[in-house]
Structure 1
Amino acid sequence: PSVSDRSSTSSSSAGPTLPCLTLTDALRWRASREPDTRLLSVCTDASSASDTDGDSSADTVDIVASCSVGEPLTAQGLLKRADRVASLIRTGLQLTAQQQALVSPIVAVAAAPGPDLLAGLFGAMLAGCVPAVMRPPAPAPSSLSAFARLVRAADCVGVVASQPVAKLLKAKSSQPNLRPPLPPLLELDKAKKVAEKAAASDSGDPNSKLASQTDPESAAYLDLCGAGSPQDDSLQTPGSSAPIGVRVTHRAAMAACQCLQTRCDLQLGRDLPACVDLYSGGMAFIVACLASVACGHHTLLMPAGALSLEPSASGAAGFLQMLAQRSVRDALCGYELLDRLANLRSLIVLGTDRPRAELLAKFGRLLVPLGLSPTALRCSFGCRVNPCLTLPATDVDADSAAIYADARALRQDRLVPVDSDSPNAVALLQAGQPAPDARISLATPSVRGGDVGEILVRSRGNVEPLTAATAAAGLSARTGYLGVIRQVDSGPAPALFVIGAVADCLTGLSGCCSAGGGTSLRYYPADLEATVVRCHPAIVDCAVFACDSLLAVVMELSCRESDALDAVPQATTALLRDHQLVASVLIVCDPGAIPANGRGEKLRSVLRDRFLSDRLDPVYVAYNL
């Protein structure tokens, strides 16, 4: 089955398509034609802003309820600042045209969300380098060490940092934790002075004449895909030469921006609030940093890190009040925003895995008293191959947004619809509709021959460009995710339902009580973990992994250690009853023991390595061998 190319009905109402093929050309075009266009404003807590900027002028900060919207960054201002940063990079790194022709050097950009980050991002592009945006490190030794490892793993030739980050990295107390040592450090605050000195010089430095890449197939930036968190042990392996991140081309980035423009009806000057973690990469990074340059809208960015975990946090409340007072039609967020929303036509959750049905259902129930339609909460899907694989449509009915499949048949790659109240029902949410030029199909495994298969996509928005031979053969790129294509009543085109990542699936498990054994069945960790979390009220989170064909279950419990043993038999019984699986190893840990990356995805391989190397520090370990 396949999803054919589909022309969007709302393309005529969206903004005009730029006559540009690269992000740098789009910035130059917009700065020359629409210099005063507002591109980005960062929203922060008004209480903290009033404490630190009490003497600022009233025309630079617009207070909206309990949320302050900073001074907007215009297209002309961004290009001016980016040119200065480009001059700083050329002067500081002394890159010649021959070096850039051989390979585009990677430059790390570390700054807080805002104008400095965008200036460093586009400045590196204008200098002919490939920027890699990284989360600024905290003063903690683990954070500094993780930042140094990430810079080393990305093979960066320099680090462009804002003044607070550069001060931290230069501090004497930070040097013992920065191992391996960092490459040359360039401060953004010195960009203006360096640019003025280069402009006044008549020496004709050849480095200053280097032009940015204009080939749409050249790399625009390095997407780190949420790597480099302090909990990620995958970068600690000595001598590891495996490449990290994905080089996203200008063509793929522009295609993702145009897809977002079509789906959200983005026009010049329209406000688009977004509460995302841009350092997690993928579509969140594109929404926060790139889309406004290509589409011309005004991004109101609330960094996800500014939100407190409490539902009544002032930062989240201010963002919600801003949405209500500005009467916005569309907004985008990550799973970090779990509070009430009102006056929205749609709230798009940017996801990189199977949509979390239970979490979205709980979130949706909060919207019912506010009068918001149940279909306002929708999901999108992106992956390493294509960060904007699908976006939700505006005509999705509540009945067709989810299907319920038999879990037992799903393990055999067969889709058998059942009622929602069936004891073996698994909810699969629609992941949205493909981009207008995308063609999605399934590579059904030949051994199984069922309804479930790996998702294949052929689109100009793919990160890896198709070769001439591949394009002539009509081949598509593999996404690494399993899914189902099913016709729904809400539209003429079939819908895509994502089930899970191929690499995370558990196969060949021993202790399986199903007919045929565990070797012929495919178990999805999300289903097993949901079963364990439901079986005991003290279990706050769970992660499963396979170790030598044995199923290991890690449970985070928020109770006394004396009561932790009560959860072990209940988890064993629940897995045996619902999935016919025997948990060979059950590990009880304190909350926070399960590592996760910047996207909120569980690092199950890191968890397994910690357990095998005796670095997990569990409360209790039970064996059923």
Structure 2
Amino acid sequence: MAVEPHSFVYRGRITVFSINVLRDERVVVVAEQRPTCTDEEAFSWMNNVVPAVESIHGLNLYGIVLVHHNRLPRGSNGVVHVQETKSRFIDGTLHPVNLLMCPHQCITNLPLPKPHTTVKGAAQLMGDMVTGRVAETKGQSLSIPFDEQDGAGKFNYIIDVLAWRAQSCPENVLFSMVDSKGHTTRSINCITLHKRAERIAAFIVEKLNRGKAKIRGEHVAVIMPCGIDLVATFFGCLYAGFVPVTIRPPQSNNLPACLPTIKLTLEISNVLGVLTTHNIARILKSKEAAPLLDSKSVPPLIELDDVPKKKLESLYRVPSPEMIAYIDFNVSTTGVLSGVKVSHTGVMGMCRAHQHVSELYPSRELALCLDPYSGFGLVLFILSSIYSGHHSYLLNIYDLELNASLWLSVISTHKIRDTYCSYTAIEACCKELGSATDMLKSRGVDLSCVRSCVVVGEERPRLSLLSSFSALFSPLGLGSHTISTSFGCRVNPIICLQVSPLHYSVVF
């Protein structure tokens, strides 16, 4: 616990105990947070403690709990009472001010699913004789009748949904890309996206099929800039039978921070090739990148800037919905790179949940300003519009560095009712535009059209930041009830997704 504790916690007010979870002991650390330490500083400190304990002691922590100063129970000798602290933690009466749980780090003995036993005729007859009756229970279906009969819910694969939309509503616009000046540079409808994905699929099959008898189901890295081409390339992989692994492109001005993650992701995922653009390929092959990324060890780079007009013979038919659709790689809050295999069933389940909670249909419009390469951001950016048919305005999160008012201006210009963003976008607006609300108002920026603003993250809600954002931009018409947060983790990015209801005053 000696990871710079002076500014964050009291050295003598730390207790460590274990609790039983899944027939094994898990370590919990409880400490008193200093009054001068903010929640953001405490959260960063806890994220440093977890890998430090793992590397020094070879021990994975189950959780770190911080309480207010002078709130831990003490014995007659003035020392923190361990058993009483443990009892309060189990009973839920410890009242922490900050909490970091890491069950995925320390629990390695998860129970296996029970094997499915086929019930045959003889067993059914015996059961009827013993019970004297036939009992059946059935839960309410999540899918609405229209969705099951006439919509995307009748399909098991997202690629079938896109092919169906290309036939049933070919001119329906799915995506529009917005540049740093707020101009719509490119839009794409269902049929154009479908044909673009087919061309990419035929091209990568031709490039990767040389001398290989079996390529379907192999992993392929997708290192594309944020935009419509990322969506088309992702579906091109699915059309061809490959498993896409989306990777954030390197920033030319920050190669030492980007390239190690790209290198490790390529090594772990064991990809057959890398789908990218000419500019990104040039960065990966540059002299500046050579010390960090050996070009000889990188899989073949396939540039998709000029794809020939060659149609795919037929879409790849996935044998089972439980097969892997894509692999979601990301660095966790504890600094560990991990990949999650997402099945086709998982893809359809997430899209269906998002559609029902947010009431999405083809005439709706959304504005997205977040990272599209992993987690819920990937689902929103690439998959959800295909399933629900709504129109998504795509904004590059890095464009906020050039134009901090980009996101708010797009919402006002197009009268967007629902928007999804990251904490990075919220921070940029508060930092750069906090004192410029009068200027935005004079430009005609009006946020009264916003019904819900969902902040996407895998961490606890940052209440002070969200409260500041709500207060700063309330003069522009932003209601306090519009802001909510989604919560998820690496294996389930949509644990909690609730659009702000109008009758609540504040929803975090």
With the shorter chain as reference, the TM-score category is 0.5 to 0.7
Any unmatched runs of 5+ in structure 1? 47-66, 200-207, 236-243, 402-428, 430-625
Higher RCO structure (Cα 8 Å, ≥6 apart): 1
Any unmatched runs of 5+ in structure 2? 1-137, 430-436, 438-445
Q: Per-residue CA shift, 1:126-160, capped at 9, x if unaligned?
A: 11111011111133541334322221122211100
Question: For 1:36, what is the secondary structure of its paired residue?
Answer: coil
Question: For 2:265, what is the secondary structure of its paired residue?
Answer: helix
CA distance in 1, matches of 2:415, 2:315: 45
Q: Per-residue CA shift, 1:284-342, capped at 9, x if unaligned?
A: 1111111111111111011212212xxxx63x313212212322221111112223772
Q: Per-residue CA shift, 1:136-187, capped at 9, x if unaligned?
A: 1133541334322221122211100012112323445544432372011111
Q: Per-residue CA shift, 1:21-55, capped at 9, x if unaligned?
A: 11111111111111112111111122xxxxxxxxx
Please point out which of 272, 277, 285 is paired with 1:157. 272
**Does 1:307 find its partner at 2:400?**
yes
**Does 1:125 find its partner at 2:238?**
yes
Aligned position for 1:298: 391
**Does 1:184 find its partner at 2:278?**
no
Taking a change above 3 Å as real, the CA distance of residues 369 and 32 of structure 1, as seen in their structure-2 partners, is: same
CA RMSD of aligned residues (A): 3.2
Please point out which of 148, 154, 161 is paired with 2:263. 148
Q: How many residues align?
A: 349
Taking a change above 3 Å as real, the CA distance of residues 141 and 327 of structure 1, as seen in their structure-2 partners, is: closer
**Does 1:260 find its partner at 2:373?**
no
Question: For 1:160, what is the secondary structure of its paired residue?
Answer: strand
Q: TM (normalized to structure 2)?
A: 0.62
Taking a change above 3 Å as real, the CA distance of residues 192 and 251 of structure 1, as seen in their structure-2 partners, is: same
Aligned position for 2:411: 323
**Does 1:383 find its partner at 2:489?**
yes
8 Å contact kept, 1:39–1:75: yes
Question: For 2:330, what is the secondary structure of its paired residue?
Answer: coil
CA distance in 2, matches of 1:5, 1:378: 29
Report the alpha carbon displacement of residue 368 of structure 1 after superposing the two structures with TM: 3.2
**Does 1:82 find its partner at 2:197?**
yes
8 Å contact kept, 1:38–1:73: yes
8 Å contact kept, 2:231–2:382: yes
Corresponding letter in the other structure for 1:347:
C
Question: For 1:157, what is the secondary structure of its paired residue?
Answer: coil
8 Å contact kept, 1:10–1:263: no
Question: For 1:71, what is the secondary structure of its paired residue?
Answer: strand
Q: Per-residue CA shift, 1:372-418, capped at 9, x if unaligned?
A: 332111111122232222221443754684xxxxxxxxxxxxxxxxx
8 Å contact kept, 2:484–2:500: no
Please give the residue correspondences for 1:396-407 in structure 2 after superposition, counting only pairs within 5 Å: 397-398=503-504, 401=507
Aligned position for 1:73: 188
Q: TM (normalized to structure 1)?
A: 0.51
Report the alpha carbon displacement of residue 245 of structure 1 after superposing the two structures with TM: 0.7
8 Å contact kept, 2:221–2:271: yes
Corresponding letter in the other structure for 1:349:
V
**Does 1:245 find its partner at 2:339?**
yes
Taking a change above 3 Å as real, the CA distance of residues 292 and 372 of structure 1, as seen in their structure-2 partners, is: same
CA distance in 2, matches of 1:381, 1:349: 9
8 Å contact kept, 2:222–2:233: yes
Question: For 1:189, what is the secondary structure of its paired residue?
Answer: coil
CA distance in 1, matches of 2:506, 2:406: 33
Q: Per-residue CA shift, 1:74-103, capped at 9, x if unaligned?
A: 1111111111211222122227896346xx
Taking a change above 3 Å as real, the CA distance of residues 186 and 232 of structure 1, as seen in their structure-2 partners, is: farther
CA distance in 2, matches of 1:233, 1:21: 35
**Does 1:108 find its partner at 2:221?**
yes
Taking a change above 3 Å as real, the CA distance of residues 90 and 16 of structure 1, as seen in their structure-2 partners, is: closer
8 Å contact kept, 1:348–1:379: yes
